[in-house]
């Protein structure tokens, strides 16, 4: 199984978080505390530390509630989703419990649901630990659905029941009549996407990226990723960074055959990259499907100056 290692460095939203909360690396985040239950377990407490890092024990318990596997890239709940659920809880029903009825689904399990005629999308973000079907105490599913639509962040599915689907993918909404399940909407990787592990980074920091919403394999990914300004600032040309593969391969178009193999494309931002807003672009090569896009582009990320180090100075 190959994994991309890229030596490099979401959309245009202001940071929305509580002023008294620990620092979050996401444009949308809560107060760092969550009340959540599911799979016969519950957690009501702090998951984000004062320095902005995540409490290992708390995240392990949240993974158990969500049905995912702690410390397994691609199969553990993404901090982005935890932060979004926390944000929804804080905004809609502070302190009240979120119940997760469907969390992580392995690709095999998701396919099994589809084969049984259930409303499980072929490109479902449940397979990437980026989606959950939830209920928030004291808030109707319709209210949650409407709130997310108005926010313009993530996905929201409403099926006129007590639950609402929530995910941290592209901004979109649907109900049981417009979900696209059972159609060719996502066939041949039409909806393939690129997600970063955070929204906010500092110069010289690591970054992880995941290609999502895939429906056909194998996928060829160019070892060259690019960073392009997204804030109106001019660049003479995009910043191109050549990757290396974990097995030392020098292939020009390495192929990947599963969701898991593209779960953790790791990277390091240049020490001297100018601060600002960027998008990361992954280019696909030797495509086997005409309808698959030529590239996937992340939503905006913000790169900030590393405090205590001048641009161009090596990070210690």
Residues in the chain with pLDDT values less than 50: 1-12, 244-247, 310-316
d(CA 302, CA 13): 11
d(CA 158, CA 150): 14
Q: How many domains does the chain have?
A: 2
Domain closes at, from 142, 175, 208? 175
Residue listed under structure tokens 């920091």: 205
Q: For position 81, what pLDDT does the model report? A: 98
Q: For position 223, what pLDDT does the model report? A: 81
The range of the structural domain enclosing residue 246 comes to: 187-304
d(CA 140, CA 161): 9
Contacts (Cβ under 8 Å, ≥6 apart) of 118? none
Q: What is the dihedral of CA 83, 84, 85, 87, to 10 degrees?
A: 90
Q: Does residue 197 fall inside a structural domain? A: yes
The answer to whether residues 159 and 222 belong to one domain is no
pLDDT in tens, 213-242: 999 999 999 888 899 999 888 887 888 765
Domain closes at, from 144, 175, 206? 175
The answer to whether residues 61 and 99 belong to one domain is yes
pLDDT in tens, 131-164: 999 999 999 999 999 999 999 999 999 999 999 9
Q: Does residue 6 fall inside a structural domain? A: no
Q: For position 19, what pLDDT does the model report? A: 55
The answer to whether residues 170 and 21 belong to one domain is yes
- DSSP E strands: which ranges in 126-218? 131-136, 155-158, 164-167, 172-175, 193-196, 200-202, 206-212
């Amino acid at each position: 199984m190959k994994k991309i290692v890229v030596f490099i460095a979401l959309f245009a939203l202001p940071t929305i978080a509580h002023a008294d909360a620990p620092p979050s690396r996401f444009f949308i985040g809560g107060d760092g505390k969550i009340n959540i239950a599911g799979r016969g377990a519950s957690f009501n407490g702090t998951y984000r530390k004062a320095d902005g890092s995540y409490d290992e024990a708390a995240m392990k318990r949240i993974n158990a509630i969500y049905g995912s596997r702690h410390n397994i890239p691609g199969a553990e709940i993404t901090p982005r989703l935890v932060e979004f659920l926390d944000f929804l809880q804080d905004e809609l029903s502070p302190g009240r419990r979120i119940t997760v009825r469907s969390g992580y689904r392995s690709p095999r399990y998701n396919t099994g649901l589809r084969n049984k005629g259930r409303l499980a999308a072929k490109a479902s973000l449940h397979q990437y630990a980026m989606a959950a079907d939830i209920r928030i105490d004291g808030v109707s599913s319709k209210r949650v659905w409407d709130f997310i639509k108005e926010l313009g962040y993530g996905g929201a599915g409403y099926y006129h029941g007590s639950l609402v689907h929530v995910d941290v993918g592209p901004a979109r909404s649907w109900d049981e009549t417009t979900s696209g399940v059972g159609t060719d909407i996502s066939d041949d990787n039409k909806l393939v996407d690129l997600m970063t592990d955070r929204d906010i980074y500092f110069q010289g920091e690591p970054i992880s990226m995941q290609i999502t919403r895939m429906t056909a394999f194998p996928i060829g990914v160019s070892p060259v990723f690019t960073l392009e300004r997204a804030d109106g600032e001019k660049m003479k040309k995009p910043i191109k960074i050549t990757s290396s593969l974990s097995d030392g391969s020098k292939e020009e178009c390495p192929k990947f055959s599963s969701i898991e193999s593209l779960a953790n494309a790791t990277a390091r931002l240049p020490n001297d990259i100018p601060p600002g807003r960027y998008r990361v672009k992954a280019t696909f090569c030797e495509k086997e499907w005409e309808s698959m896009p030529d590239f996937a582009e992340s939503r905006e990320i913000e790169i900030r100056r590393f405090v205590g180090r001048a641009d161009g100075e090596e990070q210690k």
